[in-house]
Amino acid sequence: MSEIVVIGAGLVGHVASRLLARKEFTVVAVDRDPERLKLLDGFEGLRTVEADATDPRTMESLAENAKVFILALPGNLGRIGLEAAVSTGTPVVDISFSPEDSRELDTLAKELQVPVVVDCGVAPGISNMCVGYAASQLATTEDVLILAGGIPSVRRLPFEYVAAFSPGDVIEEYTRDARMRLGGSLMARPALSDVELVHFDEIGTLEAFDTDGLRTLLETIDAPNMREKTLRYPGHAALMRTLRDAGFFDKAPISVGRGDDAISVSPHDVTLALFEKDTRLGPKETELVVLRVEVSGTGADGMRVMHRFDLLERTSYGVTAMARTTAAPCALVAARIARGEWPAGQAGVIPPEVLAAQPGVFDEIRRGLEHHAIVLSYSMKPLPE
């Protein structure tokens, strides 16, 4: 029986392990924190291993026995596992939001004939799949817009936000410049720029602002206009911008206190500690994930059309919508790889949009998501000439 190794048993890794353990695989859930592993005790088809993801030797020995290697770690920790898997010839599905360009590994992975599916969560992830599929249906792609966010179901001060993934990655997202393509040119704007209000019938008016979420799409999709924005309750961007501009996200230590009592501390670390407290989902709180993808262009028949995808998921049965919508595409793709069905002979770094552009794959993804009770609605409408 083939083994799927899941590195990281946090919010997302936990759910991915459980989704896969229901199938025909043995799942090995790995974390350095025994408390997290304990939560996975007693599930059939699942065993746990306490280990450190930053140790290359451990990662390699885990990868050697695996049919597929899933990386579900905070953004700064996925790299070592990724390298260990590729060097041992093990296919990888990555949902760690890594700030580095994972395409560096492309050459090695191609040499060793290893498929590495990166950014395989919700956004990036499902968002990329939507864009890849829509672009594959168009002769020329013109405009790509991705709106994505995880927010609490009910607004709660001070931040009106719950960190459905690692709070450190959220700060990173508000700090890193947002790359986009406008009028055919690659541009970068500061994160939290260009705030606009967007209405959603079921949840009300949200605000959308620039973040750096396009990643591989900037290279794989040929469209003159391409932009990703993060969704939050109105007012959040201004507040986060104030914190950022005032220095609360600065990693460089500053001197705090006076005279002999002065100590050196990173404002970022203090803010992170307060964010971890204030943005934690309370026991009675629920959150939701909103995703809207719009891709416009001209079809082979010369007609201008817009492909539109919408996803709205809520916490259910104690599992956050963010964990579920991130873990589900990952588990789905990992299972297909373990069965040898995907990615149909491809090797190297494979972004989700490339996978989803293959004939028939996107329909299977939508069906697979629906199997996990995730509804990705899809429509196409003609645009004026």
What residue ranges bind its own copies (CB under 8 A)? 157-159, 239, 241-243, 245-248, 254-257, 263, 265-267, 269-270, 272-274, 277-278
Query: Which residues touch 140 (CB under 8 Å, ≥6 apart)?
Result: 297, 298
Q: How far is the CB of 152 from its own copies (least distance, A)?
A: 15
* Cα 307 from Cα 112, distance rounded (Å): 37
Q: Which is nearer to its own copies, 44 or 261 (CB)?
A: 261
Question: How many beta carbons lie within 10 A of that of residue 218, not counting itself?
Answer: 16
Q: How far is the CB of 236 from its own copies (least distance, A)?
A: 10
Q: How far is the CB of 273 from its own copies (least distance, A)?
A: 5
Q: How far is the CB of 246 from its own copies (least distance, A)?
A: 4
Length of the chain: 385
Q: Which is nearer to its own copies, 106 or 250 (CB)?
A: 250
Q: Which is nearer to its own copies, 23 or 156 (CB)?
A: 156
Q: 321-338 and 126-136 helices cross at what angle (nearest 10)?
A: 60
- β-pairing verdict for 68-71 and 196-200: unpaired
What Cα–Cα distance (Å) separates residue 335 from each residue in 217, 329, 367?
A: 24, 10, 14
* Cα 33 from Cα 40, distance rounded (Å): 12
Question: How many beta carbons lie within 10 A of that of residue 295, not counting itself?
Answer: 27
Question: How many beta carbons lie within 10 A of that of residue 23, not counting itself?
Answer: 14
Q: How far is the CB of 274 from its own copies (least distance, A)?
A: 5
Q: Which is nearer to its own copies, 58 or 141 (CB)?
A: 58
Q: Which is nearer to its own copies, 182 or 256 (CB)?
A: 256
Q: Which is nearer to its own copies, 55 or 294 (CB)?
A: 55
Q: How far is the CB of 75 from its own copies (least distance, A)?
A: 15
